[in-house]
Chains A and B, each alone.
Chain A
């Protein structure tokens, strides 16, 4: 799976980091999302999809 994050849309609410810190992080300066990896391991796919769904600003997307 591949995940994408649109930093222009991100509002830094941190839901993604809370849901899946293995994949998502927040920029130390502006709090916006930073991907630790664009291709999460298959074992993380389910939680990655959950993070995408929980993002309040629709900044995240996932493709199989």
Chain B
């Protein structure tokens, strides 16, 4: 292999397709050299077995100060601040994550179902009242996960509007970096205020739970953990809903599986597998490690392609086709290893409720523009659509 290292960004070729480079590697290479924007070289891993091997191996660190990323040109990243456990290794990671897992059990998330149903119904009512056409992203895909997180954290109704507006500004692309940073500070400020409030007047919600649990957690730590939940859970779910709707409108034969309660769970798993929302995640080698016949040197960063693993023909037959009836077990849409998504049961509930509700309310939902005019988030870390103009018979 004497080829030049790949560089970022990888070439996106369509809303539902693998980056061209990842697809090209499918035939003969599970791992290849890359050069990150900070100038350092590392590796890109694209097959499911190798992706899982990296994510399960404690010799590959998630510490953010060790890694190069496809998006960051800065040579140095500071270590994770206390509470930002996604960028830590055990035991620090474990310490923080354990304080949250009790709030995210399958059982608790199922209990939230009724609230998610209400939130979805309210937004469908608003869409129906305003009449077609609508942009599904601000009308449905974004507010549902945002409100659910407000609900979960226990953000009071009066604070939701400014909180959600700042959150939406935080993830807009057309905004300048400075403006985004201001929005992030604003969101953080709102959360910090809530934390102070909950310390004084605890209620039955996640923030109060964290404060009570960890007489050992500082307000700053609680704020950071809540900010991480928001950051990890908001854009991801919103884009699954937006791009998921686009995928279903493009594959109408798969729709009945979503609106049928008997099949919706597996249909959602298939959407999770199929939709390339998260391009990957990064780990850095703490020592020299042999993988798939190459030697990864200590200190090198490895990007694992989540869409690559989810479209691995060795595990999923006909992997580039959306097939809601397939066996979806073993997809890695939520990652693998100790960082596997904490919010996955919540994300599942949201998708299992919101997608069927949409197509039941508007059975003739259709794109209001030709598919090639749907603006894609090719410029963003989290993929999906910027807008999804839809229409229906009023």
Q: Is the CB of A18 within 8 A of B340?
A: no
Cβ-based interface call for A57 (8 A): yes
Partner of A57, one of B103, B338, B344: B338
Chain A contact patch, size range? 20 to 34
Bound CA span A32–B102, Å: 7
Asked if residues A57 and B337 are in contact (CB atoms below 8 Å), the reply is: yes
Q: Which of A17-47 contact B (CB under 8 A)?
A: 17-19, 21, 26-32
Are B56 and A58 in contact, CB atoms less than 8 angstroms apart? yes
Q: Is B342 on the interface with A (CB-CB < 8 A)? A: yes
Which residues between 184 and 218 of chain B lie within 8 Å of chain A, taking CB atoms?
A: none
The B interface is mostly helix, strand or loop, or mixed, namely helix
Complex alpha-carbon distance, A57 and B104, angstroms: 16
A31 to B213, CA, bound (A): 14
- Contact call B329/A31, Cβ cutoff below 8 A: no
Question: Contacts of B7 on A, CB cut-off 8 Å?
Answer: none
Nearest A residue to B56, CB-CB = A58
8 Å CB contacts to A: which residues of B308-348? 329-330, 334-338, 340-342, 344-345
Subset of 23 A-B contacts with CB under 8 Å:
A12-B97, A12-B101, A12-B102, A13-B334, A14-B344, A14-B345, A15-B340, A18-B106, A19-B329, A26-B105, A27-B102, A28-B102, A28-B107, A29-B102, A31-B98, A31-B102, A32-B98, A50-B329, A56-B55, A56-B336, A56-B337, A56-B340, A57-B337
| A-B contacts besides A12-B105, A17-B106, A27-B102, 14 pairs, CB < 8 Å | A11-B338, A12-B102, A12-B104, A13-B334, A13-B342, A14-B344, A28-B107, A30-B98, A30-B102, A31-B102, A32-B101, A56-B55, A56-B338, A57-B337
